[in-house]
Amino acid sequence: MTNVVVVEGRVIVTRPGRVVGIIKPAGPTGPQGDAGELGPTGPTGPTGAPSTVAGPTGPNGPTGPTGTQGEVGDAGPTGSNGPTGPTGPYGPTGPTGNDSNVAGPTGPTGAASNVTGPTGPTGVSGLQGIQGPTGPTGANGSRGPTGPTGPTGAQGVQGVTGPTGPTGPTGAASNVTGPTGAVGPTGATGPTGSTAALYVGIVAPTGDEGPFEGQMWFNPETSVYLIYYDDGDSLQWVAPLGPMGPTGPTGPTGSTGAVGATGPTGPTGAVGPTGADSMVTGPTGPTGPTGATGDTGADSVVPGPTGPTGPTGPTGATGADSTVAGPTGPTGPSVTGPTGSTGAGGPTGPTGTMPSPRGARATRSTNLTGVNYSAAFTVINWDTEAYDTDTIHDLVTNNSRLTVPTGVTWVELFAQITLGNVTADSGVAVEIRKNGTGIARVAHNAGGYSNPHVQVQSGLVSCVATDYFEVFVVCADTSIDVTAATSWFEMRIVY
């Protein structure tokens, strides 16, 4: 087995009991000399003592023949991973160039942001290419010949039905009713469940005007009725009663009463009179011996029995074509013709162009602090804009609104509201309204967060020019903030 070890910077190759060779460490590379003519490879000299000064690198000799495969040495230990180098600083942002009509390469992924960026508008899909023509349908296979109809077998002789015997009379019905079994005792009524104490902390949906004291609400998730109650310190939904106690066990079923005794059998009726002559012909007796031929008698007025069927005569000549359709023969085997070749694909449609996005995003320049939105839904005003392509938002007049411009029939609405200083577990709801009527709402429980982000979107909304949309907020906390940096209201024009 061959071993390779490193001792004081020298690579030593050994085999059991002896050192095969020592590989000197490489010295520094000297200056590149002029390339001389390639001389012949000289014989290998004896290994000298390790040099402390690296000599110049000589020219590469010709490649010698490939030697035989040596024994595989033991794998050396895996070195530890070196430390990761620091991330270089981001370069400054260059000026915005003119719009390009050629897609540039994808840039490197930036560091993860802790602020949710706005959703970009959806681009219009390109036109679909023209569908290629459908290939011709393969020809149907030939129909198999109709098989011959088998001959109808001769009908067998019907056996003789024997006479039916007379039916005996039915016995008289019993006029004694058996006794009814006793009814089992009724099971004991289960105990009534104990009344539970009032419990609070229920977060219920709120209407446009908010809940009022004494209002009732049925929670479909727990099947419990709740009342909006003022205990002097705060308002909350409470349950007036605890859940119903379990139903008591069902009492045992009473034993079945004994079956009444069977009434006595009535007397057998008298034998009925002999029936009329049978209407069914009895079996034919055996044929007697043939008697002597007598004189020819007069013609019989009673038809004689049908004689046996004679042998089949020869086939007659083919008659004229029948004017009556014969029975349909059995279906021949199905043969599927070969599938026609697939038609050539149609040409690829032209690549659709990406239209410029249309819409508007309204924002705020300052935070709203210490506001009280607990009594009812309150509209949010917007005094700045991120963009507005069609004069959708007015910074002064009705600046809470995004108004549909002329010629637009479908839009999408998006809103994000970031609240601050919210008390834990306070309920929050954000609603988008069209012309004063709600069309999309998200209700949110702040849980343990004091600055929840609430997002709501409408999906596609049909509209006409001058329709307007607004964002309303309600929160159970009586003093909250609205963070301007991450709160916005956006309309995207679809078409």
User: Is 460 in contact with 378 (CB distance < 8 Å)?
Assistant: no
Position 53 in a domain? no
- Structural domain that includes position 456: 359-493
Burial-class residue 419 by CB neighbours within 10 Å (0-12, 13-18, 19+): buried
Read off the pTM.
Answer: 0.33
Residue 456 inside a domain? The answer is yes
Question: Does residue 35 lie in a domain region?
Answer: no
| CA gap 294, 361 in Å, rounded | 128
Q: Which of 245, 271, 288 is the last residue of a domain?
A: 245
Is 303 among the domain residues?
no
Does residue 450 lie in a domain region?
A: yes
Domain boundary among 245, 276, 309: 245
Quickly state the pLDDT bin for 86 (edges 50, 70, 90): low
Pairing outcome for strands 488-493 and 410-420: antiparallel
- Averaged confidence pLDDT in the chain: 75
Given 205, 223, 245, the domain boundary residue is 245
Q: Does some domain include residue 61?
A: no
- Which residue, 435, 358, 441, 440, is CA-closest to 400? 435
CA dihedral (166, 172, 173, 179) in degrees, to 10, reads -130
Q: How far apart are the first and last CA of the chain?
A: 78
Higher pLDDT: 460 or 125? It is 460
What CATH number is attached to the domain comprising 486? Answer: 2.60.120.40
Are 368 and 362 within 8 A, CB to CB? no
Is the pLDDT at 249 greater than 70? The verdict is yes
- Residue 195's pLDDT is 39
As a whole number, mean pLDDT of residues 454-482 equals: 96
pLDDT at 332: 75
Q: How many domains does the chain fold into?
A: 2
Of 107-111, 122-126, 219-223, 342-346, which gets the smallest average pLDDT? 122-126
- Give 495's pLDDT tier (boundaries 50, 70, 90): very high
Nearest to 358 by CA among 432, 411, 433: 411
Query: Residue 223 gets which letter from DSSP?
Result: T
Neighbour-count burial of 106, counting CB atoms closer than 10 A to its CB (0-12 exposed, 13-18 middle, 19+ buried): exposed
pLDDT beyond 50 at 194: no
Could you report the per-residue pLDDT of 34-85, keeping only the tens digit for each? 766 666 766 776 776 766 776 676 676 676 676 666 565 565 566 666 666 5
Most confidently modeled of 87-101, 237-251, 472-486?
472-486
Higher-confidence position of 216 and 468? 468
Q: How far apart are CA 128 and CA 126, in angstroms?
A: 6
Task: Report the pLDDT value the prediction gives residue 272, as an integer from 0 to 100.
Answer: 66
Distance CA 185, CA 5 (A): 98
CA distances from 335 to 135, 137, 151, 328, 332 (A): 21, 15, 28, 19, 9
The DSSP secondary structure of 57-88, one letter per residue, reads PPPPPPPPPPPPPPPPPPPPPPPPPPPPPPPP
**pLDDT for 25-44, tens place per residue?**
556 666 776 766 666 766 77
Task: Please say whether the beta carbons of 301 and 108 come within 8 A.
Answer: no
Residue 413 within a domain: yes
pLDDT value at residue 193: 44
Has residue 124 got a pLDDT over 90? no
- How sure is the predictor about 200, in pLDDT bands with cuts at 50, 70 and 90? very low
Give residue-wise pLDDT tens across range 392-437. Answer: 999 999 999 999 999 999 999 999 999 999 998 899 999 999 999 9
What is the distance between the alpha carbons of residues 145 and 331, in angstroms, rounded to a whole number?
A: 9
Residue 305 lies in a domain: no
31 sits in which H/E element: none
Q: Confidence class of residue 476 from pLDDT cuts 50, 70 and 90?
A: very high
Give 90's pLDDT tier (boundaries 50, 70, 90): low
Surface-to-core class of residue 487, CB atoms within 10 Å of its CB (0-12 exposed, 13-18 middle, 19+ buried) = buried
